Amino acid sequence: MFSPAIRKPHLVHRREKEEATPSPPPPAPAHSPSPGGFALSNRPATGTPAPWTSSSLLARISTSKQTDRAGDSDQIQPVRVAEFPQIVRNAQANLLQKNFSGKNTLVGGIDKETSLAWMICGNELYVWSYLSSVSKDCLVLDVPSSLMGNKDTESLCGNQWTLCIMRWGSTVTRKSEEMLHRRSSTGVILCNRRTQAIAYWPDIYDESSKSPALSFFDHSVTSPSDGISACYRFNSLIATSIPRGIHECIAIASEPTGALWLFQCSPAGILRREVHRDTLGDNGSDHHQKNDGGRSLAWLPSDISSEAADRKFFLLTNHGIQCWSISLLHGNNVKKIVSQEIVGSDGELGIKKDIAGQKNIWLLDMQIDEHGKEFSILVATLCKDRVSGSNYTQYSLLTMLYKSNQKFSSEDNVAKCERFLEKKAPSQVIIPKARVEDEDFLFSMRLKSGGKPSGSVIILSGDGTATVAIYWRGSTRLYQFDLPWDAGKVLDASIIPSAEDRDEGAWVVLAEKAGVWAIPEKAVLVGGVEPPERSLSRKGSCNEAVAEEKRRSQAFSASVVPRRVSSEAWSSGDRQRPAFTGVAQQVVVDEEAEMLLNRLFHDFILSGAVHEALQKLRVAGAFEKEGEMNVFVRVSKSIVNTLSKHWTTTREAEFLASTIVSSLSEKRQKHEKFLQFLVLSKCHEELSSKQRAAMLSVMEHGEKLSGVIQLRELQNALIQQRSSTHLSPQSKTPTAGALWNLIQLVGEKARRNTVLLMDRDNAEVFYSRVSDIEDLFYCLSHQLRYIITGEEHPSVQMQHALELSNACVTLVQAALYYREEHKDWYPSPEGLITWNSQPVVRSGIWSLASSVMELLREPGAADMPMKSNLWSQLEGLTDMLLEGYMGLLTAKFERGEEHGGLVQEYCERRDELLGSLYDLAKQIIEAKYQESREGNDNLDLKESIFREVTSPILATAKRHEGYQTLWQICYDISDTVLLRNLMHDSVGPHGGFSFYVFKQLINSEQHAKLLRLGEEFQEELASFLKDQKDLLWLHEIFLNQFSTASETLHTCALRLSPGEDADLTGNRKSLSFVERRRLLYLSKIAATAGKDVDYEMKVARIDADIRILKLQEEIVQHDPGYAQGKYTGKLLRPSELIEMCMKRDRELSLKAFEVFAWTSSSFRSSNRGLLENCWTNAANQDDWVQLSQASISEGWSDEVTQESLQGTVLFNASRLCYSQDTVVFDGTFEEVLPVRKEDVYARGLEGKCFSVEEVLMQHDVFPDAGKLMMTAVVMGKELSYTELADEPVEMDS
């Protein structure tokens, strides 16, 4: 037997005895409808009767000392998930009464994908969902007698039947029906492994197709020499649906000899064909090695396959793994892609054989994880002890990593041996030394992976044992499923599907007599044992994967003390605790403090006295932990989460409903008592001052409890309403409606994630776990599509959305009312985050609100009354969601945490919600107006209806700065008074509502209205128009800020590029030269009107800019691009104008110096090099060599020389820049570039700049005509300069 626990001698003896001589059945229980009674085999003569013989224990089985706390972390016992349906119990009893011979009269299993359990009793197949605590909905299928095989056949060598289940329909539909335990279209393939007969039910829930399609194997083609007629011809079967097919699927089966069979199943029938005769390559010649072929088959998860039309599957053989591919849409072609040897001479690739003491190696079973990344292989090795000489079997687990992106080089059915698996780690030894078993027993073992704890596997043996193996804290631990009574053999094991679509769930087993049981995670970790060894000769080195880690961990391990027994300790009530060190000791202190608090509170309930509770709790360390770990929070949580002992799932619904109500009422009273205890003992004061988060959690438990009570009352009202309007008295049931479905989803989620709750009803779990009410919003966020499905009529969807919205609003409003009513009990809120502000709550409300908005946008989906009701609920959802955001933003701001992303999310969702509310409000307004008016139009009536309907939207938008909605409301009714009032009231960040109004007026180019609002909102408009310079000056003039207006106009006139002009109001194009001059003139007038201290300097600067602007107009006319409008209105920088002048004729060369003259001193200083280039360019404009030769040959006098040089550019440039009466803005040219070299030294500028003389000395002709060139410069400086443009330019009209 594959068992890590010590075998019970009395059970072994009793089982062997009963197998030899069947015992007579015990009397039938009173409740059994079977006329012959319900016989139970393998029951002890004395002791506690089986728990299923009492209907009161069907819902809750007490196997040891249990507490009332549903989430007891110390629970290490299996938890009942579901009892067998009564019809299955009756069938079992009938089967036992008929005294069937053989060991495998009962066959069953669990399907992981669909969570369906099945069992074959006699010639009937029973299928039911095991996730429901009471499996009432069980389907019975008749197995054709032709499928059963020869009844006279001797006892079979294992499980005769294998079954595959396919769930049809879309993913969302399948998930919805699974979560809500609804019947879904499901196909079933049943295979008789011995006879190879196949039965296929296309849809087991279709009443019209109860008869299956059948396919039988022609035994005439098989010779008696095959040697396998006495055992199973098929040892593994897998199936998958065909894409886009209607109830069509394919199944692949493997034979021990290595052959593969393909079955194409459809409602029309089953087509079978042998797709591969021999997977080993020996053509099945050695029939003595009948089990050396295919071991097991496994699909690669469909989302890992490269194409949806192709699926890969893997075949475990006696020495390796083969990868196969099947085309589901193109003739179902099956092709072997690649194979890899696992057992060979290279230990790095898998398992090394031919080691000393090793006699044989068997690969028993294989599993692939959900992601298709890890392959787990169960290995058995027959070894010989080198000391004692005895044989033993070593069981180990090999984990391989799959390389999914690898490209194989196989061609046309020619597979090569390539590595597609890598060894993750050395083999993990599960049992170092076990007894030697025959091959039939070894090959009956099955491996399952993926359950909790993470990394654990469960191994099912042919003798009916189930063992969980896990490597944890440096050692391998084994946990064997066992119950204090005889539960029969374990038929199958699976994983409870997680409600959050996580990969791992708790292990569940199907026991032959006890139903479906779950194995809690802690049961494996705490109740697990170390692998037994028969000899001390082999050290811990047997487990090569963990030997080193085990040695390292021994020095500081805080793991659980190993136990050598499991069920013995359980049955005796013993619960061994781990050795606590470090943090674990603090846990003991916390538990002691919690026990003290519970005792003090209990005494307070009885006597009303606190007995110095504060001092006692301080000494016990009750105030040391914050948040959820605080003992006060834990006690408060236990109060609101208590599961009542008298709740049972076998009671009628009405009784259960009344029990729920009374229990909630008791919880509220007890929690109020707890708060009173905190106040009277002064613990409330201590918590409120030092542990505010803990005190808030205690108060929030009261909030949630109040909300759940109101939610229960709402559900009762809905049930009563539905019962009186739609259902007859005989069919009253709460299992209808969206709220009920939501409660089922939340309860199901809790049950799946906490296996200790699996024996409870979903509604019971929901109304008990008050502190976890956030799960309701989680289900709304992630599973709403299962309640409001697109396959339903829009009116039905709206009804469901209305019911869910009403439930959420009722729940949260009741909680907030509790908060307001008990506000004096709450601690200071700074930096605390309330439960309704948590992301999961906000996400759930937003998901529901989004669904409501989508439904309301559909035209003609429902009548106006329904839309109006749904609109009201959407309004409540909006208020709840936005208040949650505000609370979280406030807390983050107080904590100093980053909240930019949250603000953006809040604003986006706020605008979408308010916009949707307002759009529908206008439809409601129009409908009400049409109903109320009497023929003629009545605008006053319409406005009155408008204000009435939109008042709640207006209030929400005002509270949450929904400026877009506020603007639309005021704009639609043209109410300027309301608009101005809102602008005064809504003062938020970034200017508040006033800025939003200003922006809307600018976008709509209503500048006059904007400036009129500035009369009332002077500071606001002035702040807003800082980026709107072309309007700011108007507002500044209105405010008599003339100097500021002058600066604004000046800046606006000198915007350089269209990119900067984009800051102008609206979509205006770049300013033209005329517009720029006009703005400059206005700036000059405003500066003169302002008469500041330095206004004269401002006016001079404006005049200079006017002259530069005029120069640009003259300069750009000489550019070739001017005719194409290249420079129309484009303001060039002074440096650009100067460079443009140097590239043109001599006239523009002189304009460059004029530009320099009207710029600033700083510009001239920072552009000395450009000024020097201008002098060089000026020298280039005349033929100085020719002039020099003429002056010598003709003997020019001083008068002739002056007259001849007055026409040169150098002379005019010198006169423009250096003459005594020249006009230069802000300084002189002498400060930047003196004329003579000696002037540089005279001014102390040596090393900082050159002189004009030094610049000209670098000219090419200076050696020949340098004297004449300097004469022109000096004469220009000494001659007076009369500017042609001295007269003021008239302003453009």
1172-1194 pLDDT per residue, tens: 999 999 999 999 999 999 998 98
Band (217; pLDDT cuts 50, 70, 90): confident
Cβ within 8 Å of residue 974, ≥6 positions away: none
Span 1214-1241, average pLDDT? 87
Helices and strands counted in the chain (H then E): 42, 32
**Terminal C-alpha separation, the chain:** 110
Average pLDDT of every residue of the chain: 79
Q: What is the pLDDT of residue 1135?
A: 92
The most confident of 383-387, 412-416, 649-653, 847-851, by mean pLDDT:
847-851
In terms of Cα–Cα distance, which of 413, 1057, 520, 421 is closest to 751? 520
Please work out, in degrees rounded to the nearest 5, the angle formed at the alpha carbon of residue 202 by the alpha carbons of 198 and 207: 120
Any idea what DSSP says for residue 341?
Answer: E
Q: What is the CA radius of gyration of the chain?
A: 46
At residue 726 the predicted structure's pLDDT band, cuts being 50, 70 and 90, is low
pLDDT over threshold 70, residue 1147: yes
Candidates 498, 643, 755, 765; CA nearest to 68 is 643
Q: Which one is predicted more confidently, 1212 or 462?
A: 1212
Stretch 417-423: mean pLDDT, rounded? Answer: 81
Q: What is the pLDDT of residues 548-567, one digit of tens each?
A: 334 434 433 333 333 333 33
Cα distances (angstroms) measured from residue 344 to each of 292, 352, 360, 423: 15, 5, 12, 13
Q: Tell me the pLDDT tens digit for each residue of 752-767.
A: 888 778 777 888 889 9
Q: What is the pLDDT of residue 334?
A: 87
Q: What is the mean pLDDT of residues 400-426?
A: 72
Question: Please, which pLDDT band fits residue 424 given cuts at 50, 70 and 90?
Answer: confident
- 283 pLDDT above the threshold of 50: no
* Average pLDDT rounded to a whole number, residues 422-428: 86
Average pLDDT value for residue range 387-391 = 83
State how far the Cα of 629 lies from the Cα of 652, in Å rounded to an integer.
Answer: 38
Q: Which long-range contacts (CB under 8 A, 24 or more apart) does 923-927 make?
A: 923/864, 923/867, 924/864, 924/867, 924/868, 924/871, 924/949, 925/949, 925/950, 927/864
Q: What is the pLDDT of residue 792?
A: 84
732 burial level (CB within 10 Å; 0-12, 13-18, 19+): middle
Quick check: 493 and 110 in contact, CB under 8 A?
A: yes
In this structure, the number of other CB atoms found within 10 A of the CB of residue 443 comes to 23
Global confidence as pTM: 0.75
Q: Is the pLDDT of residue 1064 over 70?
A: no
Residue 284 neighbours by CB under 8 Å, 6+ apart: 226, 257, 258, 259, 277, 278, 293
More confident residue, 774 or 122: 774
Q: Is 806 left (phi over 0), alpha (psi -120 to 50) or beta?
A: alpha
Q: Using pLDDT thresholds of 50, 70 and 90, give the confidence band for residue 172.
A: low
Average pLDDT over residues 430-441: 85
pLDDT band at 903 (very low <50, low <70, confident <90, very high): very high
Residue 807 reports pLDDT greater than 90: yes
Residue 613 has pLDDT above 50, yes or no: yes
474, pLDDT greater than 60: yes
Distance CA 460, CA 108 (A): 13
Percent of the chain with pLDDT over 70: 78
pLDDT score, position 1082: 92
Residue 233 pLDDT: 80
